[in-house]
């Protein structure tokens, strides 16, 4: 009984680490509204493409790391040590970022931060696979993924407060200290894999180590439905990174909210995400595995309709509330992705399989902030009534609707494949 209770301490620790990692990620989204930070980075206020590329640089580093480094972490270091190494690296990088002068070095620091955080969700997925059966993995997955919404919800007002009360450098320094001082002690205390789980001797040589890494990576790539779930995840994460990166600027510049209002309004959609992720996890544990794709289909419709209302609403508060609804429907889908990967993968390949899904998905989604920035700039600079900041942001956010059409299609295909596989299984059993 104690072991069953202790596993939840590990889940809570992973939830906290995910939350503080997301505060790191959206720090830049708030700082691009500050003239002093833009001057330090050498970015013009109207240069939306360069601003969006700061988020893209992080996601490129994150995606490559999740795909490439995760097999090394799984095969050579294990969950516990990999988390500690990652926390040290991203804490140091975050703390030192204010000393990076110029746009190029700032881009490099964001990419390096992405590299440090890349394996996080894959390691969390491996921990849950080790401690929870498929029929009960909905709630732990939802709890870990709730860190996404909570990190964004706390991050927007926290960074906004630090920006309003101190110089912009304080946000990097405070977050760097938080990563190390809070994350590492929690991992030491509570993240432990079951005794004997995938236990093996240390590699006898460099060649043996590389063979293990290669086998781990190959197993992840051969996981059932891995390509389909990767495409779905790419579109799913494109909404998160496109929307969260431009939300503060959208509220301030397109809807006319003040800096103080922008902070708490930007956090409300994230609280909706936290609630929805928890509800999504409960739903997963109460329905048949075959019906989980319906969560993607229903959630994506809700997101698309909510964003459509947000960009067409005349009242600015109705627009803000519509984005809250959009994040709620997005959050319902969140725990279904790791739950699906864990159900389809072998225990020794879970981290690598999720590394493929999350890494590739993040890499593709990482270009969404830059793509939205390009559309915002192009439409804002348009002639006559078609131009203006508001029109640019409305056009940029319209791209988010397209991401949900992809999610809906992938969810439908996944349902058909699962239904077909279930039918074949019943036929073979009857024979």
In the predicted structure, residue 172 carries a pLDDT above the cut 90: no
For residue 191, what are the CA distances in angstroms to 18, 347, 368?
14, 17, 33
In the predicted structure, residue 232 carries a pLDDT above the cut 90: yes
Name the residue with higher pLDDT: 212 or 54. 54
> Token pair of 284, please?
């997963």
> Token pair of 405, please?
């059409």
Name the residue with higher pLDDT: 113 or 74. 113
Nearest to 175 by CA among 24, 15, 25, 29: 24
Q: Per-residue pLDDT tens for 304-363?
A: 999 999 888 888 888 888 889 999 999 999 888 888 887 777 766 676 777 778 778 888
In the predicted structure, residue 386 carries a pLDDT above the cut 80: no
- In the three-class reduction of DSSP (H, G, I as helix; E, B as strand; rest coil), residue 313 is classed as coil
**Rounded distance, CA 315 to CA 385, Å?**
19
Which of 2-11, 34-43, 233-242 bottoms out in mean pLDDT, i.e. has the lowest? 2-11
Give the mean model confidence (pLDDT) for residues 298-308: 94
> Token pair of 18, please?
């995910």
CB 336 within 8 A of CB 345: no
Name the residue with higher pLDDT: 174 or 133. 174
Q: Per-residue pLDDT tens for 283-295?
A: 888 888 778 889 9
What pLDDT was estimated at residue 430?
Answer: 42
**Measured at the alpha carbon of residue 240, what is the angle toward residues 223 and 277, in degrees to the nearest 5?**
75
Q: What percent of the chain has pLDDT over 90?
A: 14
H or E stretch at 123? helix 120-131
Please tell me whether the overall predicted TM-score, pTM, comes out greater than 0.75 for this model.
Answer: no
CB 247 within 8 A of CB 266: yes
Query: What number of CA atoms fall less than 13 Å from residue 409's CA on the CB side?
Result: 11
253 Cβ partners below 8 Å, 6+ apart?
A: 389, 390, 393
> Token pair of 131, please?
């401690």
Which of 90-94, 300-304, 312-316, 426-430 bottoms out in mean pLDDT, i.e. has the lowest? 426-430
> Token pair of 341, please?
């990967």
Helices 169-178 and 138-165, packing angle to 10 deg: 140
**Rounded distance, CA 267 to CA 272, Å?**
9
In the predicted structure, residue 429 carries a pLDDT above the cut 50: no
What pLDDT was estimated at residue 220?
Answer: 61
- Tell me which architecture the domain covering 2-191+213-430 has in CATH: Up-down Bundle (1.20)
């Amino acid at each position: 009984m104690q072991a069953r209770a202790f596993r939840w301490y590990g889940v809570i620790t992973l939830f906290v680490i995910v939350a503080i990692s997301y505060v790191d990620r959206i720090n830049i989204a708030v700082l691009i509204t500050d003239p002093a930070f833009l001057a330090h980075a050498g970015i013009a206020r109207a240069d939306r493409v360069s601003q969006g590329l700061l988020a893209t640089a992080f996601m490129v580093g994150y995606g490559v790391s999740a795909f490439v480094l995760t097999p090394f972490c799984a095969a050579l270091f294990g969950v516990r040590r990999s988390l500690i190494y990652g926390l040290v690296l991203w804490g140091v990088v975050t703390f030192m970022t204010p000393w990076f002068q110029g746009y190029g070095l700032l881009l490099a620091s964001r990419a390096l931060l992405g590299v440090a955080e890349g394996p996080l969700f894959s390691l969390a997925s491996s921990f849950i696979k080790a401690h929870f059966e498929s029929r009960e993995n909905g709630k732990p997955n939802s709890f870990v993924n709730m860190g996404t919404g909570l990190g964004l919800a706390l991050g927007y007002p926290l960074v906004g407060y630090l920006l309003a009360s101190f110089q912009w450098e304080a946000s990097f320094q405070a977050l760097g200290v938080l990563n190390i001082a809070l994350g590492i002690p929690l991992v030491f205390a509570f993240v432990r894999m079951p005794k004997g789980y995938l236990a093996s001797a240390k590699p006898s040589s460099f060649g043996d180590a590389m063979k293990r890494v290669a086998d781990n990576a190959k197993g992840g790539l051969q996981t059932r439905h891995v390509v389909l779930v990767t495409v779905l995840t790419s579109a799913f994460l494109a909404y998160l990174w496109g929307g969260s990166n431009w939300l503060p600027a959208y509220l301030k510049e397109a809807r006319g909210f003040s800096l103080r209002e922008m902070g708490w309004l930007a956090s409300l959609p994230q609280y909706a995400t936290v609630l929805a992720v928890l509800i999504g996890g409960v739903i997963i544990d109460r329905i048949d595995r075959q019906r989980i794709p319906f969560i993607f289909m229903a959630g994506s419709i809700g997101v698309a309709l909510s964003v459509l209302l947000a960009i067409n609403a005349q009242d600015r508060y109705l627009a803000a509330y519509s984005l809250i609804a959009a994040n709620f429907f997005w959050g319902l889908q969140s725990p279904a992705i790791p739950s699906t990967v864990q159900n389809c993968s072998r225990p020794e390949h879970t981290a690598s399989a999720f590394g493929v899904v999350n890494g590739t998905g993040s890499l593709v989604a990482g270009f969404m902030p830059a793509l939205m920035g390009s559309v915002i700039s192009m439409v804002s600079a348009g002639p006559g009534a078609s131009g203006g900041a508001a029109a640019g942001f409305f056009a940029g956010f319209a791209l988010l609707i397209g991401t949900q059409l992809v999610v809906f299609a992938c969810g439908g295909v996944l349902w058909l494949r699962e239904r077909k596989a279930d039918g074949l299984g019943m036929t073979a059993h009857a024979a």
